[in-house]
DNA sequence: CGGCTATATAACCGCAAGAGCATGTACTGT
DNA sequence: ACAGTACATGCTCTTGCGGTTATATAGCCG
């Protein structure tokens, strides 16, 4: 194991899976809806949903034959946590830039 | 095109490439150093570095035969931007929880 | 219970990506 | 100029993944 953050990265590398998440960000959806909106075959969507499910990125609620898929935030928070040390770096860079600008004479190019 | 955020996701899906970024987060490194620390063949490292370079995630500074690879933050900021709407969702969830707790009577189980 | 709807699973195909090895290239010091 | 160092590139092989079609499963309605 290379860390729990591996899963989200790997899973989200797929553009269609990110697309699915974008759709689920608005509201839960049926597999059929996703199939229509993505323009992919139903088995294709189901396969992506399985991957997303196993990574904990989505959850399912069953209603008769229908399955409502909904967003789950946990793995995305892990991703955010992974990103955190890097975010600190660019915050620092921004601080440095601000300090730099404060030190600079008020000058504009020709 | 599916959005400029595709590249970072795709590139960072590789565990070794994330490992490389972690190392470069501390300080710039030579290819040889990375080879040693990752336990991968030198061509392997070079190939990953090429991918990272083309995605703008690292930059190179040449010094004689040596190449100092260093972190570049741009694509990571795009990743952060992609994450932003989701982050808002869990901030909301946290707000809701706080409000909920405020409304609750001060009660402990057991 | 029979046919229909909604979704999952299986089997297969094609491609792209990663690993390893061999080799090319660029710069160095003496 | 030569031998050595540091890195990149090309090639081949294999594996994994996404896509599709066909089929299984489960629940509904009449």
Query: Using one digit for the tens of pLDDT, what is the confidence trace for A24-41?
Result: 999 999 999 999 999 999
- Is it the case that residue B110 has pLDDT exceeding 50? no
A42 against A3, higher pLDDT? A42
pLDDT tens readout for residues A61-88:
999 999 999 999 999 999 999 999 999 9
Say if B40 falls within a structural domain: yes
Task: Determine how β-strand B66-71 pairs with β-strand B29-30.
Answer: antiparallel
- Is it the case that residue B2 has pLDDT exceeding 50? no
Name the average pLDDT for chain A: 86
For residue B10, list chain A residues with Cβ-Cβ distance below 8 A.
13
Number of domains in chain B: 1
Name the average pLDDT for chain B: 86
Residues 6+ positions from A59 with CB-CB distance below 8 Å = A53, A69, A70, A71, A72
Say if A83 falls within a structural domain: yes
Say if A109 falls within a structural domain: no
- Predicted local confidence at residue A95, as pLDDT: 62
Say if B16 falls within a structural domain: yes
Cβ contact (<8 Å) for B86 and A25? yes
Domain encompassing residue A46: 2-103
- Is it the case that residue B99 has pLDDT exceeding 90? no
**What is d(CA A61, CA B45) in angstroms, rounded to the nearest whole number?**
44
Say if B19 falls within a structural domain: yes
Say if A110 falls within a structural domain: no
CATH code at position A60? 1.10.10.10
Say if B110 falls within a structural domain: no
**What is d(CA A97, CA A21) in angstroms, rounded to the nearest whole number?**
35
- Predicted local confidence at residue B91, as pLDDT: 79
- pTM of the full structure: 0.84
For residue B15, list chain A residues with Cβ-Cβ distance below 8 A.
2, 6
Cβ contact (<8 Å) for A80 and B87? yes
- Is it the case that residue B1 has pLDDT exceeding 80? no
Say if A108 falls within a structural domain: no
């Amino acid at each position: 194991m290379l860390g729990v953050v591996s899963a989200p990265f790997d899973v989200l590398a797929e553009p269609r899976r990110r697309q699915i998440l974008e759709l689920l960000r608005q509201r839960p959806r049926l597999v059929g809806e996703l199939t229509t909106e993505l323009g992919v075959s139903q088995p294709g969507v189901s396969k992506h949903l399985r991957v997303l499910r196993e990574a904990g990125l989505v959850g399912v609620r069953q209603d008769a034959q229908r399955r409502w898929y909904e967003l789950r935030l946990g793995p995305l928070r892990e991703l955010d946590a992974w990103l955190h040390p890097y975010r600190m770096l660019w915050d620092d860079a921004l601080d440095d830039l601000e300090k730099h600008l404060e030190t600079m004479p008020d000058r504009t190019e020709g």
